[in-house]
């Protein structure tokens, strides 16, 4: 489209490139083509990291640097790489910076691989009272809070842990107005199935857990081992699964008892796809439905699991942790939901058609750092 200012909704990769050309989105080093996802931009760790005693927000009057000066911290140089220890909290200055106009806001989420390694990551902006959100008109630096919860990890300048989405609103539009209603989801599913079986819609598309077993091995998931070696996040397809994970086989009763504070990788019963004109975000279910949490790092780009004229082709991988007490999951139980959001226009390349689409067509799949089963 020639008149970009008329677009409202989630901005596709070609419009994110426009933001770079206009100086709305800048960086300490040139932005690489591989950072552009169909509906987001991968963010890169900068050189400076700080080990801090606790998580924090700067609040409405302070910058992140102001807060770091008042807190006890240890500066770490990431030029040659450093180990982020499990259970510790780090704040890292990102390479990217923003100069947003009044019509554009931004939101961040961890990348899929980050979530599958249980590396808790949130975006922090100056003078902000919330994580992962950047208000329209923001001008300044960006930071990532990073806290590995299961594995200690090695990172370096340029490592990508989270991604940023950009929304353009019209003068009268709100975020909720950009999300597809339940009625809209039913209408869309009737024209082109969003999942491969019966659909359940309740404040979004409900996803249910697969505990009957996949493939000849009848696995339902993996549980993280407690004591492992460090994982270098830039080593792809390098690590043996058995050195870090315990397989979880299906039980005859199709149940799984989650042990408190253990980390699991599980998978949805449904195969799904995201149409080119939409994106989707995994959001929590009602907390009254159970004392467990599906780690909703998941953002689904346009084209995830998509095949024109075909059937939905990818399962949703879920990062799951029970809190306080053991929790019994049963096959087919609803554990999370997807909220679908309108794109301002279709991306010029869909997920699966770019070189960084690591999880297209997935079933039960660990993060890209692990070797595939033979």
Q: What is the pLDDT of residues 29-38, one digit of tens each?
A: 999 999 999 9
Least confident of 5-9, 208-212, 263-267: 5-9
pLDDT of residue 373: 66
**What is the average per-residue pLDDT within 337-354?**
90
pLDDT of residue 298: 78
* CA neighbor of 76 nearest in space, from 235, 42, 68: 68
pLDDT of residue 352: 78
Q: Report the percent of the chain where pLDDT is more than 90.
A: 71
Q: Are 231 and 154 in contact (CB under 8 A)?
A: yes
- Diameter of the chain measured on Cα atoms: 59
**What is the average per-residue pLDDT within 69-74?**
82
Q: Hey, do 4-168 and 179-342 end up sharing a CATH topology, with the first three levels equal?
A: yes
* CA neighbor of 76 nearest in space, from 103, 45, 38: 45
**What is the average per-residue pLDDT within 262-278?**
93
**One-character DSSP codes across 172-226:** T--HHHHBPPHHHHHHHHHHS-SBSS---BSSSEEEEB--S-BTTTTEEEEEE-S
**Of the spans 179-193, 286-300, 305-319, which averages the highest pLDDT?**
179-193
Residue 3 confidence class, pLDDT cut points 50, 70, 90? very low
For the chain, the distance separating the N- and C-terminal CA atoms, rounded to the nearest angstrom, is 46
Provide the residue ranges of all domains of the chain, joining segments of one domain with +.
4-168, 179-342
pLDDT of residue 70: 87
pLDDT of residue 351: 86
CA-derived radius of gyration, the chain: 20
Please say if the pLDDT value at position 356 is more than 80: no
* CA neighbor of 234 nearest in space, from 29, 32, 82: 82
| b/e 165-182 (16+ beta carbons within 10 angstroms → b) | bbbbbeeeeeeeebbbee
Q: Do the bridges between strand 314-322 and strand 334-342 make them parallel or antiparallel, or are there none, so unpaired?
A: unpaired
**What is the average per-residue pLDDT within 148-156?**
97
Least confident of 60-69, 219-228, 240-249, 350-359: 350-359
Least confident of 177-186, 201-210, 278-287, 292-301: 292-301
Superfamily of domain 4-168: Deoxyuridine triphosphatase (dUTPase) (2.70.40.10)
**What is the average per-residue pLDDT within 349-371?**
81
| b/e 132-164 (16+ beta carbons within 10 angstroms → b) | bebeeebebbbbbbbbbebbbbbbbbebbbbbb
Q: Are 356 and 37 in contact (CB under 8 A)?
A: yes
Q: Assign domain 179-342 one CATH number from 2.30.110.10, 3.20.20.80, 3.30.70.120, 2.70.40.10.
A: 2.70.40.10
Distance CA 300, CA 340 (A): 9
SS3 275: coil
**What is the average per-residue pLDDT within 112-131?**
95
Please say if the pLDDT value at position 290 is more than 60: no
Distance CA 330, CA 271 (A): 18
Q: Are 91 and 74 in contact (CB under 8 A)?
A: no
Would the CA dihedral through 225, 226, 229, 234 be positive or negative? positive
Q: Report the percent of the chain where pLDDT is more than 70.
A: 89
Distance CA 34, CA 326 (A): 41
Q: Which residue has the higher pLDDT, 33 or 216?
A: 33
Residue 2 confidence class, pLDDT cut points 50, 70, 90? very low
pLDDT of residue 86: 96
Q: What is the pLDDT of residues 168-204, one digit of tens each?
A: 986 554 455 688 999 999 999 998 889 988 899 988 9
pLDDT of residue 309: 64
Q: What is the pLDDT of residues 74-109, one digit of tens each?
A: 899 999 999 999 999 999 999 999 999 999 999 999
Q: Do the bridges between strand 231-232 and strand 153-155 make them parallel or antiparallel, or are there none, so unpaired?
A: parallel
| b/e 305-338 (16+ beta carbons within 10 angstroms → b) | bbeeeeebbbbbbbbbbbeeeebebebeebbbbb
DSSP annotation of 315 = E
pLDDT of residue 127: 96
Stated as kind and residue range, the H or E segment containing 118 is none
């Amino acid at each position: 489209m020639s008149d970009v200012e008329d677009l409202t909704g989630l901005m596709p990769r070609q419009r994110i490139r426009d933001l770079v050309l206009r100086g709305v989105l800048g960086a300490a080093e040139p932005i690489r083509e591989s950072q552009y996802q169909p509906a987001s931009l991968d963010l890169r760790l900068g050189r400076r990291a700080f080990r801090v005693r606790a998580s924090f927000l700067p609040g409405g009057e302070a910058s992140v640097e102001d807060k770091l000066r008042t807190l006890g911290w240890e500066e770490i140089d990431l030029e040659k790489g450093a180990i982020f220890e499990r259970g510790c909290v780090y704040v890292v200055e990102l390479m990217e910076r923003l100069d947003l106009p009044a019509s554009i806001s931004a939101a961040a989420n961890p990348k899929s691989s980050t979530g599958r390694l249980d590396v808790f990551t949130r975006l922090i902006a100056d003078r902000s009272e919330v994580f992962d959100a950047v208000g329209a008109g923001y001008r300044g630096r960006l930071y990532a809070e990073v806290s590995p919860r299961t594995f200690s990890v090695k990172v370096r300048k340029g490592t990508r842990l989270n991604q940023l989405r950009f929304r353009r609103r019209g003068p009268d539009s709100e975020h909720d107005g950009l999300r597809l209603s339940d009625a809209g989801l039913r209408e869309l599913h009737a024209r082109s199935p969003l999942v491969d079986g019966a659909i359940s819609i309740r404040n979004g598309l409900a996803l249910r857990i697969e505990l009957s077993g996949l493939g000849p091995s009848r696995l339902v998931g993996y549980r993280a081992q407690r004591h492992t070696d460090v994982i270098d996040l830039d080593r792809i397809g390098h690590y043996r699964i058995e050195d870090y994970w315990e397989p979880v086989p299906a039980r005859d009763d199709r149940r799984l008892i989650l042990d408190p504070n253990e980390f699991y990788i599980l998978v949805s019963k449904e195969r799904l796809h995201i149409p080119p004109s939409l994106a989707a975000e995994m959001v929590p279910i009602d907390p009254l439905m159970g004392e467990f949490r599906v780690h909703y790092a998941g953002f689904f780009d346009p084209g995830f699991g998509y095949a024109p004229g075909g059937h939905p082709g990818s399962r949703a991988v879920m990062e799951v942790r029970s809190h306080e007490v053991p929790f019994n999951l049963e096959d087919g139980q609803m554990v999370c939901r997807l909220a679908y959001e309108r794109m301002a226009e279709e991306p010029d390349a869909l997920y699966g058609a770019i070189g960084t689409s690591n999880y297209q067509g997935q079933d039960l799949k660990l993060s890209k750092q692990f070797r595939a089963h033979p």
